[in-house]
Structure 1
Amino acid sequence: MDTMELNAKAWLTLLLAGLLKQAAAQINQTAPVQTRDTVQINAPVDVVWRALSDVAGWPERYDFIRETQPPTDLRANELFRWRTTKLRLTSTILTVTPRQTLGWQGRRYGVTVRHYWHFQPTPEGGTLVVSEESQRGLLVSLLKQRFRRSLREGSRKWLHQLKAYSERTQPSTGVGGSITY
């Protein structure tokens, strides 16, 4: 095998790996119900990441989450359980890239949900958060408008509460320029 053929195979392998990783970090693009919402948070990405990735702390941060059984470790294929004001859920973590992407999937009553969070630091020291979620299943197809409205309201509420918590708890500079919490 010559060098050019080897380089082409290596390039193709890297390209496919990148595409698969990218595809794995997306909602179901063919789902009948989808939402994509963004919020600008005036807090560093580390603060915002902790506010979302610390599943055990969700009930104190988000008024619609009643309890959680966090994953043993924050990594792909780990399960976590949580209860909202309306549902008991079991979710499987799909992807974790600290301070960049967190995604999970769950299924309840024949409805499959994928939810991804993307974090982007801004030049001003804040964080742009993109929340994407898809829902599919028979109930979703039959009640599209209701599911769309509920999903949109829920997504915006979660982002609003993430913003409020992160901005309230962001680090401040203390004596000598050290970071204090």
Structure 2
Amino acid sequence: MKSINNNAPVKCSKTITISANSKKVWEALANINNWDNWQIDISKSKLNGELKPNSTFDWKSGGAKIHSTLHTVKPCIELGWTGKTFGMFAIHNWNITEKDGKTEVNVEESLEGLFAKLLKNMLNKDLEKRMQNWLYLLKQECEK
């Protein structure tokens, strides 16, 4: 797994426990083409090829068009990518751990670049809100 940049001006990490097995959580996260059906902040998502490292996907989140490249694909364990938008570079990682029929999901992201430096305070608050929402929506999707 490629580590986030802990020195980036914008970074966040969040964890949630989902009452579902890791396979169900993985299926929701790894089906990039289906994100826009349950993740309300995403209006479009398209995987360009297979779900494997170095494959790319294009998506639109919060009005921003993002081009991302998968760096880690370990079914039911880890999913990670890098992405670029508005002159910023992101590293985004998901870690999945199943315990006693429930799944703990940790998500972390770092953002760097000129806009990340200039808008550090606003972007940190926004990232925290977006990550919390993504986890909440993932929990809803997997527990239904």
Question: TM > 0.5 between the two?
Answer: yes
Task: Give the alignment of 1:19-30 within 5 angstroms.
Answer: 24-30=1-7
TM-aligned CA deviation for residue 86 of structure 1:
1.6
Letter in 1 for 2:41: F
The total of aligned residue pairs comes to 144
TM-aligned CA deviation for residue 85 of structure 1:
3.1
Provide, for residues 153-176 of structure 1, a one-character-per-residue CA deviation record: whole Å limited to 9, x for no partner: 0000000000000001xxxxxxxx
Find the aligned partners of 2:94 and 2:2 in 1 and give their Cα distance: 9
Provide, for residues 124-146 of structure 1, a one-character-per-residue CA deviation record: whole Å limited to 9, x for no partner: x0100000000011111111100
SS at match of 1:70: strand
TM-aligned CA deviation for residue 62 of structure 1:
0.7
Find the aligned partners of 1:100 and 1:71 in 2 and give their Cα distance: 22
Find the aligned partners of 2:16 and 2:52 in 1 and give their Cα distance: 25
The unaligned stretches of length 5 or more in structure 1 are 1-23, 169-181
- The alignment's TM-score, normalised by the length of structure 2, stands at 0.97
Find the aligned partners of 2:109 and 2:41 in 1 and give their Cα distance: 17
Find the aligned partners of 2:68 and 2:119 in 1 and give their Cα distance: 23
**Partner residue of 1:101?**
78
Bigger-Rg structure (1/2)? 1
Could you say which structure has the greater relative contact order, defined with CA pairs below 8 angstroms and 6 or more residues apart? 2
Find the aligned partners of 1:71 and 1:45 in 2 and give their Cα distance: 25
SS at match of 1:40: strand
Does residue 136 of the first structure (1) align with residue 112 of the second (2)? yes
Task: Give the alignment of 1:84-99 within 5 angstroms.
Answer: 84-99=61-76
**Partner residue of 1:149?**
125
Greater than 6 Å deviation, 4+ residue runs:
none
The unaligned stretches of length 5 or more in structure 2 are none
Q: Which has the higher strand share?
A: 2
